[in-house]
Chains A and B, each alone.
Chain A
Amino acid sequence: AQSVSQHNHHVILSEAASLELGCNYSYGGTVNLFWYVQYPGQHLQLLLKYFSGDPLVKGIKGFEAEFIKSKFSFNLRKPSVQWSDTAEYFCAVNGRGNKLVFGAGTILRVKS
């Protein structure tokens, strides 16, 4: 069975700090990888996704993620966070023949 692990449940950063949110998954086959974001009071929306090709994926709002197959990881990064990035971030994995499995989420708070 698939599982997704997000290392930090709460992260607090100051504006302009760099961000890296960890995501590891367990599934031996081909996977499709997603990061979703949930801003306060809003519903989930797609931040970025990886299916194949270049393992460095760029998403909206300056976010990027790198797929490292050997480490079963898909970490989310942003060089300089803004107060408006305060949100909960979910990593999700979809292996062949399976349904999307979400991690527990990481709550990011950016201090202005």
Chain B
Amino acid sequence: NAGVTQTPKFQVLKTGQSMTLQCAQDMNHNSMYWYRQDPGMGLRLIYYSASEGTTDKGEVPNGYNVSRLNKREFSLRLESAAPSQTSVYFCASSQGVGGETDTQYFGPGTRLTVL
């Protein structure tokens, strides 16, 4: 099992450009999450999907959209990138349907720089 995979690993964008971050998991997990990690702020939840076909906003959803394409894949889209979106983005998945006791499994991250 590859676990949680993310593409790309690195990306540089200019302000106003758009891009989609891809995430896939092969553990047959129900829930998937997108976080951003900024120095001194830990991980903050952007969006999550408790099950296939549903998505919900997290703590910092502004400027982002998501698509739960199927049970395996959960993509994050930046429609018009801004320098404030420079961050490391992590995708995660967990077995339950938004379960509180679930362990989340993380991908390797995407380091995004917006100039």
Asked whether A103 lies within 8 Å of B45 as measured between CB atoms, the reply is: no
Closest Cβ of chain B to A54, distance in Å, is: 16
Whether B103 and A104, one on each chain, are in contact in the complex, defined by CB atoms closer than 8 angstroms, is: no
Please count how many residues in chain B sit with their CB below 8 Å of the partner chain's CB atoms.
23
CB distance B100 to A96 under 8 Å?
Answer: yes
* Interfacial chain A residues near B108, Cβ < 8 Å: 42-43
- Interface membership of chain A positions 69-102, coded 1 if the CB is closer than 8 angstroms to chain B and 0 otherwise: 0000000000000000000001000111111111
Alpha-carbon distance between A12 and B108 when the two chains are bound, in angstroms: 26
A43-B108, A44-B90 given; A49·B103 CB < 8 A: yes
Q: A105–B106 contact, CB under 8 A? A: no
* Per-residue contact bits, chain A 23-59, to B (CB 8 Å; 1 contact, 0 not): 0000000001010100000111110010100000000
B101, CB-defined interface residue at 8 Å: yes
Roughly how many angstroms separate A43 CA and B40 CA in the complex, as a whole number?
17
The size of the chain A interface, using a CB distance under 8 A, is 26
Provide the residues of chain A in CB contact with B98, threshold 8 Å.
99
Inter-subunit contact A43/B44 (CB<8 Å): no
Counting chain A CB atoms within 10 Å of each CB, the highest count among B35, B40, B42 belongs to B42
Binding site for B on A (CB under 8 A): 4, 6, 9, 32, 34, 36, 42-46, 49, 51, 90, 94-105
Given A43-B4, A44-B90, A94-B101: 18 more A-B contacts, CB < 8 Å: A6-B42, A32-B101, A42-B108, A43-B90, A43-B107, A43-B109, A45-B106, A46-B104, A49-B103, A90-B42, A90-B43, A97-B100, A98-B100, A99-B33, A99-B58, A100-B45, A104-B42, A105-B40
Interface residues of chain B, those whose CB is within 8 Å of chain A, are: 4, 33, 35, 40-45, 48, 58-59, 90, 92, 98, 100-101, 103-104, 106-109
